[in-house]
Structure formats: structure tokens, C-alpha cells
Amino acid sequence: DQQVKQNSPSLSVQEGRISILNCDYTNSMFDYFLWYKKYPAEGPTFLISISSIKDKNEDGRFTVFLNKSAKHLSLHIVPSQPGDSAVYFCAASVSGTYKYIFGTGTRLKVLA
């Protein structure tokens, strides 16, 4: 049972444009969400997180939006840069627990 889903395995975007990566979840108990970026042969790197008490969190070029009623979150990267080309994972957790459930990832390619 995949509780966290990233339905787009890949995405290509022109440099300078917006990249939007999507993530859906099924467990309504999740209240803490994270995005990670992963380059080949490296470990995932934490990008940004959001608690369910918010619907938006911004950090530089990265913004995460949370729609609790739709059980959906998205990561916006503006403007996209070639160095952003990587696999992006969303993850979800229930506060006070220790389990972080990851999606299967979306491979972003930013074209110069």
C-alpha cells in the first residue's frame, strides 16, 4: 500500500521557468511533509518541509504548498536552473512517530 505517491516519474522544464512537482498521500494522520533532492551516487538532501498547520512554506527559490483537503502537496522551483536536475522525493510523517514514508520520486530535467 503506497501511502505517498508521486505519479509523474519524470518532468522536463526549460531553464528559467517554473518546475512543479506533485505528491499525493492517503493517510490523513500525516502532519509533517518534506521534500528531498537526490543526485546520482549521493544520498538524498533535505530541501524544505511543511507542517500541516501551514499551507505554504517558502525558502529562496523553493516553495512547498499543502492542500490538506485534497491530501496533496507540491514543490515549486522558480526559476529553475540546470543544477536543479535531480530526482525529487516527497516524504510524510506523523508527528511524534518516527516513520517517514517516501514517494517513488520524480526525475526533473532542467534544459539549458
* Binding piece for other proteins, criterion CB under 8 A, among 19-27, 64-72, 74-82, 86-94: 86-94
Distance set, CA 29 to CA 57, 85, 90 (Å): 20, 32, 16
CA 87 to chain centre: 10
Smallest separation, CB 100 to other proteins (Å): 6
53 near other proteins, rule: CB under 8 A: no
Number of chain positions touching other proteins (CB under 8 A): 25
Q: Which of 53, 83, 98, 112 binds other proteins (CB under 8 A)?
A: 98
Distance CA 62, CA 31 (A): 20
Cβ-proximal residues to 71 (8 Å cutoff; 6+ apart), any chain: 24, 25, 26, 28
User: Could you list the residues that contact other proteins (CB under 8 A)?
Assistant: 31-32, 34, 36, 41-46, 49, 51, 89, 91, 93, 95-96, 98-105
